[in-house]
Every structure is written in structure tokens, then in C-alpha cells.
Chain A
Amino acid sequence: MHFQGKANKVGDHIDTDAIIPARCLVTTDPFELGQNCMAGLETDWIKRVSPGDLMVAGKNFGCGSSREHAPIAILGAGIPAVIAHSFARIFYRNGFNMGLVLLELGEKVEQISDGDRLEVKALEGEIFNHSTGATIHSLPVPEFMAEILARGGLINYVREKVG
């Protein structure tokens, strides 16, 4: 749970239609969804992302529909973690279930600018901003969520129960 990458900043209230528009929901393929990641925000947004990059967002990221295609599209775009002021509830659950790391920073998200180079220790909730030299701490990941992440997502978690 250790990532390094460039910050791609987006604004407040980024909704699931922005992350992956409904017209793209005729597939469940991560790569295809990834190609359209953020297509509802800006055409060809994906072109500015390199695999391993991180997304940094404002308030209420992922509001709107329950489509799990949203975290899948982000993962499919090669982005392993989203750092935000706050997350919408359903998206928060979906992210962890899919193995997308989500870190909540509150106002401290302002300490990251677009293009900053970040180093993230997810389970410790620690973000080192190489561009500014600052270390930022996120709100702790709830224990239950950390457990799901540690198993690589909800599917593995349930598999143990079903089996």
C-alpha cells in the first residue's frame, strides 16, 4: 500500500456522471472504462494521466449514482488512489470494495497542487509531498475498511465467508 505519482487535481462535487458518463456503462471492462475515465468532466482527460498517477479532489468526490464503474474506471486508468477533501458515501464504500485506496484530508487537501509529486503510505495515512517537502496526515482509514483493503477488496473478503 505504498504509491508514488503525480497529483492530478479535480474540483469539488465531482459526480459519477463526470467520472464515467452513463453512455459508457454498456461495458464492465476495466480497460475500456478506464479509457473514458473523467470523460464527463473533460473530453480526453485521460490523456494527461500516466499509469501510477494519483487523483486529488475537493469535497464530496463521487457523488451521484451507485455505479461501481466509477472506481473501476479510475483503477482502469491506472490510478491506484484518490485523495480528497471528502467522499460521497456510496463511492467511499465502492472504492474500498474494488481495492481503490481512498484518503480523506479535509481542508489539508489544499496543501497539494496539480502536478505535485506525492508519495503515499496508505495504511499509515501518510502523504509526503515531494514538491513542497510537507508531510500530510489523512483521517484514519476505518478498521473495517482497512481489513477489506488488506484482503484486496470485498470479493476476497466474502469468498472466505462463502467458502
Chain B
Amino acid sequence: MGKNLAEKILQRYCSEEIKKPGQIVPCRVSLVLANDITAPLAIDSFRKMGATKVFDTAKIALVCDHFTPNKDIASAEQVKKVRLFAREMGIVHYFEGGNSGVEHALLPELGLVGPGDVVIGADSHTCTYGGLGAFATGMGSTDIAAAMALGETWFKVPETIRVNIHGDLGRYTTAKDLILNLIGRIKVDGALYKAIEFSGPILERLDTEARMTMANMAIEAGGKAGLFPSDQITVEYCREHGRKEADLLKSDDDAAYALNLDMDVSGMAPQVACPHLPDNVHSVEDLEEIRVDQVVLGSCTNGRISDLREAAQIIRNNKVDQNVRFIVIPATPGIYSQALEEGLLEIFMRAGAVIGPPTCGPCLGGHMGILAAGEKCLATTNRNFKGRMGSLESEVYLGSPYVAAATAVAGRIIHPERL
């Protein structure tokens, strides 16, 4: 019996033979990640474990991105703790201030993750790197502390759902719409404990950034990982981002899957997830008139340069509705300067947007765009749980950069075509 993608990648880092899903196996890791919220707990656990040094100073990434630039004294103390630990341990990949950005946009951009890697992070959206063909998954701080000390962890080999995606993409239909549609179908626990492997002819139409957008939201269906095979598109991305080696990886023809899903995306309109779960997904055309107070373009889902470009296409020569706060947050300093160079930031500013520094910011209700009771926001982020962006009585809708930009202009959720 052949191996699917998850099994293949895990096998590269595991000395035991991987035979079937459900097997619990020890596994080495290529990179261990934590952020300013989860690293402080990991550091506590690391010390309590009696560890005095990390397994490899170049295989740990500590990214201060959630409440940064530090929003208050408590968050400043947390970052300080992470900084001091990074110095003490000699950790090479420590990010804060001008070199920091949203972790899952930052690490691929710097070539720190690539196909065939096994990456674990104390952040649920670590699964983003599946867009590059890495087996990447989120864990808690103490699991991460153990891996920082030992360079290994354990996995239950997941079952895999394979999604075969085909058809023609509409003018304004993007990777975000595909993943929202999938979550709407299989629901927030549809991939619980499982990996999702994306396949089919549509892959040729998706660049690496688009693939990362989709892998990013695997967790919103409960998934352990969202995986893309690595192909020429991946190899090209890696080369451009300073990574010399990039293996081509795909599942074996006779690999086993828990479920095979078929998705024909022809004629699919942009999708929107309505409050308060990411699986409450509707076609934008079916939504009644919904006025919004705020639009957020950013995050590890859709804060990359391609997302900014798409939004700018819509914003160009338009004005943001006077009742809307349009907040644009390039996910990393690299994306920020690229957007500056291409004139995108000027387009946003002239239209009346607010541009924030690279941070998670409002995505998790941290800062820089918190909602009051009764307010509604359309965001390109990945979660719309109750209270996620502020008041328990506020509402978050999730959509693509095209829909976000069109909504900012119209003041209500709208199909970009109808602007």
C-alpha cells in the first residue's frame, strides 16, 4: 500500500515504519515555532522540564507578532521574557520590531519552511506551511517546549481527506473562496483529527500564496494539517525566497484515504462566512444587504502581497465609504515595502484607508481595530467566533481581499462585480 502525503512526509522524520493512521509515532522536527502569546508559557514549561539548552539554535523561530508593537505593559513584559530567553539560548530566528511580521507570512517569506519539512508551532495556523508541502501543525506551548528541548515530538498518524478540485475559477473567485466553500461543506469539525490533502487540476491555477491561504484554514475544519503536493510552482517560490533545496513530493497512486471529496468550482461566486462560525458560509450573492462598520485586510490568511494587489485593483479610483473604517495591515515588513514600492499603499491611503504596521492586531481582537457592541466587520482573516475581534455583541464576516475591498467601498457586503 502506498503512502499519502501526510504519511510520506512524516516518514522522512520518523525512524519507525509508518503503517497506518492512528499509529502513535515519535518524530523529529525541522522547525519549532512560538509567538509572543505562546512562547512565555513554553519558556515556563521548558524551565520546569529542567532543560538548559535548546536542541538546535537555528531550528527554533520565536516571532513576536500578536500584541506587537506592544499594546500595553503586560504584553511588553511578555515580549521581554521571550527576548531574554532568545538571547540566553542564542536563538537565531528571533523577530521583534522592524524585522517582525505575522509569523505564518514571515517564515515562508524568509525561506525558513519548505516542502517535506515537519514543522510544529505553538499557534493553530502553523498548518499554513502545508501550502508549501510541509507537514505543519499547531500544538500547545508545553508540547512546543518539549520539542525545543528534545528536537522531537510525537504524532498520531492522521487519516487524510483528499479533496479533488476542478473547474473554472470566476473572475473574482479566489483561494479564500475555495477554502470557505469547503469548510461550509464539511463543517468546523469535518476534518477533526484528520489531514486535508488538496489535489486536482485547480492546483496549477493556484500560486504558493493562494495555496497557503487554503492550508491556513484547514484548522477551521478541525484539521491537523492542510497539504499541497510540491511542484514546479513550489520550487520556484522556494528559489525566490532563498531556499536552495526544495523536493518534489506527491502522494503515491495507491495511497489510502479516509474520504475522497470532489469539488467542481465552476460558477462559484465569492464566499462569505457569516457569524459566528467559519462554516456558516454563503455565496456573497445570497446575502441580504449587510452594512459594515469596519473592513480588515490582513492576517496570515490574506495579508500577503498578492492579497494587497487584488484589493488595490478594486480600491483604485474609488473611495472608502464614509461610514467604514478600512484597515490595511501588510503581514510582514517585506510585504509592506513591496506594497510601498508598487504604489499600493498610496492607492489605499488616497481612498481613505488606515495602514497599520505588520501585526496580528485586530484579527484576534488584540489591538488596532477592536469592535464595539453592535458593530460589524468584514475581514480577510480566518475566524469569526463570537467576540473574536472585540465586543461579544460584535460580528465578524470572513471573505476574500476582493470582497473586502468592494465592501469597503460600498459600505455593505457586495460582490465585487456589482460595484
Q: Do A and B bind each other?
A: yes
Q: Which residues of A contact B (CB under 8 A)?
A: 13, 15, 17-18, 21-23, 25-28, 40-41, 43, 59-60, 63-69, 71-72, 86, 88-90, 93-94, 97-98, 142, 144, 153-155, 158-159, 161-163
- B394 on the interface (CB 8 Å rule)? no
Cβ–Cβ < 8 Å partners of B123 in chain A = 65-66
Question: Contacts A28-B40, A66-B124, A71-B140 given; 15 further ones with Cβ under 8 A?
Answer: A17-B388, A18-B387, A22-B364, A22-B388, A23-B365, A25-B37, A40-B392, A63-B189, A66-B38, A66-B122, A68-B38, A86-B192, A88-B222, A89-B222, A158-B150
CA distance A63 to B140 in the complex (A): 13
Q: Do A15 and B189 touch across chains, with their CB atoms under 8 A apart?
A: no
Which partner residue on chain B sits nearest A144 by CB separation?
B24
**A64, A65, A69, A161 interface centre (most CB from chain B within 10 Å):** A65
Q: Which residue of A lies closest to B49 (CB)?
A: A158
B84: CB under 8 A from chain A? no
18 A-B interface contacts by CB (under 8 A): A17-B383, A22-B388, A63-B188, A64-B383, A65-B123, A66-B123, A66-B139, A68-B41, A68-B142, A89-B193, A89-B222, A90-B124, A90-B139, A93-B140, A93-B143, A94-B139, A97-B142, A158-B149
Q: Which 10 A-B pairs have CB atoms at the shortest separation, nearest pair first? A: A26-B74, A94-B140, A68-B140, A60-B189, A66-B138, A22-B364, A66-B124, A97-B142, A68-B141, A158-B49
Which residues of A lie under 8 Å from residue B193 when comparing CB positions? 89
Closest-CB distance, B297 to chain A (whole angstroms) = 20
CA–CA, A88 and B190, complex, Å:
11
Complex partner residue of A155 from B40, B48, B150, B222, CB under 8 angstroms: B48
CA distance A144 to B156 in the complex (A): 10
Shortest CB–CB separation between residue A17 and chain B, in angstroms? 5
CA distance A69 to B37 in the complex (A): 9
**Contacts A88-B192, A98-B142 given: A162-B149 contact, CB under 8 Å?**
yes
A65 touching B45 in the complex, CB below 8 Å, given contacts A18-B386, A155-B142, A159-B50: no
- A25: chain B residues within 8 A (beta carbon): 37
Chain A residue with Cβ nearest B390: A23
**Are the C-beta atoms of A155 and B188 separated by less than 8 Å?**
no
Q: A23-B365, A40-B392, A89-B224 are in contact. Are A161 and B124 (CB under 8 A)?
A: no
**B387 adjacent to A40 (CB under 8 Å):** yes
Say whether B222 contacts A21, CB under 8 Å: no
Q: In the complex, A68 Cα to B139 Cα: how many Å?
A: 9
In the complex, chain B residues 69-92 whose Cβ is within 8 Å of any chain A Cβ: 72, 74-75, 78
Q: How far is the CB of B123 from chain A (nearest CB, A)?
A: 6
Query: Would you call B385 and A64 a contact (CB within 8 A)?
Result: yes
Q: How far, in angstroms, from A109 to B364 measured CA to CA in the complex? A: 31
The minimal Cβ–Cβ distance linking B245 to chain A, given in whole angstroms, is 29
- In the bound complex, residues from chain B placing their C-beta under 8 Å from that of A65 are 123-124, 138, 364
Q: Do B45 and A22 touch across chains, with their CB atoms under 8 A apart?
A: no
In the bound complex, do residue A142 and residue B24 qualify as a contact, i.e. CB atoms below 8 Å apart? yes
- Type the 1/0 row for B106-149, where 1 means its CB is closer than 8 Å to any CB of A: 00000000000000011110100000000000111111011001
User: Contacting A21 at CB < 8 Å: which of B37, B40, B45, B365?
Assistant: B365
B51 touching A162, Cβ below 8 Å: yes
Q: Is the CB of B188 within 8 A of A60?
A: yes
Q: Does B124 lie within 8 Å of A154, measured CB to CB?
A: no
The CA of A144 and the CA of B143, in the complex, are separated in Å by: 14
What A residues does B149 contact at CB under 8 A?
Answer: 158, 162
In the bound complex, how far is the Cα of B188 from the Cα of A21, in angstroms?
A: 19
Residue of A nearest to B47 (CB): A155
Shortest Cβ distance from residue A52 to the other chain B in the assembled complex, whole angstroms? 24
Closest beta carbon of chain A to B137's beta carbon, Å: 8
Interface string of B188-230 (1 = CB under 8 A from A): 1100110000000000000000000000000000101000000
Q: What residues on A are CB-neighbors of B150 within 8 Å?
A: 158, 161-162
Least Cβ distance of B43 to chain A in Å? 9
Chain B hits for A90, CB < 8 A: 124, 138-140
